Amino acid sequence: MSSAQRTGTPVQAFASIRASVLLPLIEQIDRKSGKADVLLALHGLLRSQLDDPYAMIPINRYVAIFEDAASIVGDPAIGALLGTLFKPSDIGPIGVLFSISSTIRTGFERLAKYVNTVQGGTNSGVFQEDGNLVWSYRLDDPRLWPRRQDSEFTLAASCQLVRACFARGWKPVEVHFEHRAPRNPTTLQRIFRAPLKFCESANRIVVSGQDARRVYRQEQPDLAAVLERHIADLSGTLIQSDSAVDHVRSLIGIYLGHKPITLAGLSQELGLSPRTLQRRLSEQGTSLRDLMREYRQSILALQKQNGAVRMKELAQILGYADETVLWRARKHWECTPQAANDAAADS
């Protein structure tokens, strides 16, 4: 099995998410303020759309609704709190497949592999680091910001899946968020029961190697096969991308700041020779170096929105050896023709 299970960046005509994911949020708003229908209407949605388990809505509306809901309810941690109520059935056959997995590692590998049947425009994957298992999650589009509620909901829901399906008292080694730390992180600390890190390159849950490998149950291969077949049928409604650029961007998002990103390593993940991968990227008018620069620039822009982050920490997030290398990279970006064009467009 590959060292990184990923979405393969399946994409849709537009990035979307199953409308039913909003149901717990809408129920909470109904209880708190009764303004759920007004909120949905402001974003061009009807309550009836949420009742269809296969209905899809644009992910930008989902993110915006979640952020607005935190203001309406008056609870900045509403996403994380709703995540603690998450059940395997809330994501249909994927949740059931997670629940019958023999190990936490297998559960997260399946979650990463099939997350595209629940929502598009998402980077999700698992990898090994220092003997631990790391599950990574991030929305692709940097323009979808702020998105604190989606990030905290997704990570809290994922922890809840582990606790519901494997061990009620389970604790991660660490939990990482791409947004800045809230003024009062007490609620998050209570929910995750682990050290929290903020302003990271992606949202991540770090699972100890021992917890990840422990066998909790004997799997039922026939049931798993039926579920995977059903999930594959759902995936068939999506437009699959064969773009080498999309695949490489996905892996950069998973590994950045945590694992070396090289042409040889990525080509092995994708089952290609380094020369073939390099040629395909060239045919699409880019290179690994260009894609790394673009991704780092998008992360840097988000961190500027997050507020002050020390250069040493920012260098680590972006996968640089130290702040001096980061400083040189930024100076180089400013001197590229693309940077000059961007500056001219902004003037």
Kindly state whether residue 337 falls inside one of the protein's structural domains. yes
Beta strands in the chain (DSSP E): 5-6, 16-18, 56-58, 122-129, 132-139, 174-176, 196-197, 203-207
Kindly state whether residue 125 falls inside one of the protein's structural domains. no
pLDDT at 343: 36
Kindly state whether residue 281 falls inside one of the protein's structural domains. yes
Can you give the pLDDT of all 347 residues of the chain as single tens digits? 344 444 333 333 357 787 878 888 888 888 888 888 888 888 877 787 787 766 778 888 899 999 999 988 889 999 999 999 999 988 888 999 999 999 999 999 999 988 876 777 888 999 999 999 999 999 988 888 899 999 999 999 999 999 999 999 999 999 999 999 999 999 999 999 999 999 998 999 999 999 999 999 999 899 999 998 888 776 654 444 567 887 788 778 777 877 788 999 888 878 889 899 899 899 889 999 898 888 888 877 776 666 656 777 777 777 777 777 777 777 777 665 454 344 333 32
Q: What are the residue ranges of helices labelled H in 74-194?
A: 78-83, 93-99, 104-114, 148-165, 186-192
Give how many domains the chain has, as a whole number: 1
d(CA 53, CA 20): 6
pLDDT at 306: 62
Kindly state whether residue 63 falls inside one of the protein's structural domains. no
* pTM reported for the whole predicted model: 0.77
Q: What CATH number should be reported for the domain holding residue 269? A: 1.10.10
pLDDT at 308: 57
Kindly state whether residue 181 falls inside one of the protein's structural domains. no
The amino acid sitting at 188 is L
Range of the domain at 298: 262-346
- The 10s digit of each residue's pLDDT in 69-116 is 998 888 999 999 999 999 998 888 899 999 999 999 999 999 998 887
pLDDT at 212: 98
CA distances from 59 to 10, 21, 30, 50 (A): 15, 11, 22, 14
CA distances from 298 to 59, 208, 304 (A): 19, 30, 10
Taking each helix axis from N to C terminus, what angle separates 244-255 and 263-270, rounded to the nearest 10 degrees? Answer: 110
Kindly state whether residue 274 falls inside one of the protein's structural domains. yes
Kindly state whether residue 296 falls inside one of the protein's structural domains. yes
Kindly state whether residue 53 falls inside one of the protein's structural domains. no
Phi-psi category of residue 278: left, alpha or beta, with phi > 0 → left and psi -120 to 50 → alpha:
alpha
pLDDT at 208: 98
d(CA 278, CA 288): 8
